Structure 1
Amino acid sequence: MNKTQLIDALAARYEGNRKAAAAALDAVLDTITREVARGEKVAITGFGSFEKRIRPSRWVRNPRTGERIKAKKTAIPKFTAGADLKNVISGAKKLPKLELPKKAAPAKAAATKAAAPAKKAASTAKTAAVKKVAPAKAAATKAAAPAKKAASTAKTAAVKKVAPAKAAATKAAAPAKKAASTAKTAAAKKAAPAKAAATKAAAPAKKAATKAAAPAKKAATKAAAPAKKAAATAKKAAPAKKAPAKKA
């Protein structure tokens, strides 16, 4: 059995899907080859193991000339059969009967084949519709281009007209703004000395008033002291108020 026949045998298990069977077989073989080339051992339980072995250099004889030559050290793949594979080959173990899935592929293929003309017609109609719409769309775009360009030009012209007027207004307002700022600064400078002078002039009067009020406050406190003392003495000397006796 070669690879093609092996794919056919696998396709019978994939409900006649030969493409899926070929992809599965290629994926398995590619994975095993890559892992063994890297030096990994690929062991499939019951089937066997694949591994990389290093064959040392040795003397061999050329079968054509009979001359002895030295063979270089080389890496070789090695397959070791598993226990289940050995038992099946020797006849000690029997494989169960293979049950293949029912073939539904012909009906599916017939349905696909029957639907192909309708699919092709739909695709053709879609392509024709696109082709018909494309010129109309291009014509509409072309017709709208002058109007779009005119609108853009008008917008640019309006912006250009507004810009000088705006600049002139800003320039005209600049002196008035500067004059207002200067007047405000001058007013602040003029008001500062007057405020400082008023504060300075009020300070002596405030100090004199405080100084003049101090003796009067002291005399009032001194005059009130004897009266306060007499009131305290009278309160102390007054007899305690007796409680009225209860009647029998």
Structure 2
Amino acid sequence: MTRADLIAAIASRFPTLTVKDTDIAVKEILDAIGRALARGDRVEIRGFGSFRLNYHPARTSRNPKTGASVSVPAKSVPHFTAGKEMRERVEASAKDVSLRQVA
């Protein structure tokens, strides 16, 4: 699902919202998540999951082509962990799909 698909799905589910209003709402939600992660905060959406930063310290690596040492700087990477309800929903649908494929 792309961002455009998400906007279309929300706009079709709530006919009082225009596509432009839905686009603004989705953009604002995603921007708020990004701003919170940029501040180093954790974002938790009950029933969906949580976003947090994983810290990767600086290290020395190797260029696989030349074998030369390369210094890789420290960085923080966004990480998503699915919530319990989301995991259960995905697991249930995966079982349904696999049962349909067998039949």
TM range (shorter): 0.7 to 0.9
Report the TM-score, using the length of structure 2 for normalisation.
0.79
Partner secondary structure for residue 40 of structure 2: coil
Work out the CA distance in 2 between the residues paired with 1:78 and 1:29: 15
Q: Assess if the C-alpha contact under 8 Å between 1:14 and 1:21 holds in 2.
A: no
| C-alpha RMSD of matched pairs (Å) | 1.7
Residue aligning to 1:28 = 29
What is the CA deviation profile of residues 182-241 of structure 1, one whole-angstrom value per residue up to 9, with x for unaligned ones?
xxxxxxxxxxxxxxxxxxxxxxxxxxxxxxxxxxxxxxxxxxxxxxxxxxxxxxxxxxxx
Work out the CA distance in 2 between the residues paired with 1:64 and 1:13: 51
Residue aligning to 1:65 = 66
Shift of 1:73: 0.9
What is the CA deviation profile of residues 91-125 of structure 1, one whole-angstrom value per residue up to 9, with x for unaligned ones?
17xxxxxxxxxxxxxxxxxxxxxxxxxxxxxxxxx
1:6 aligns with 2:3: no
1:51 aligns with 2:46: no
Report the TM-score, using the length of structure 1 for normalisation.
0.35
CA gap 1:64/1:9 in 2 versus in 1, 3 angstroms: farther
Unmatched 5+ residue regions in structure 1? 93-248
Work out the CA distance in 2 between the residues paired with 1:68 and 1:84: 45
Work out the CA distance in 1 between the residues paired with 2:67 and 2:29: 42
Return the letter of the residue paired with 1:70: S
1:84 aligns with 2:89: no
Considering fraction of residues, name the structure with more strand.
Answer: 2
Q: Assess if the C-alpha contact under 8 Å between 1:53 and 1:78 holds in 2.
A: yes
Report the structure number with the largest CA radius of gyration.
1
Work out the CA distance in 2 between the residues paired with 1:84 and 1:61: 41
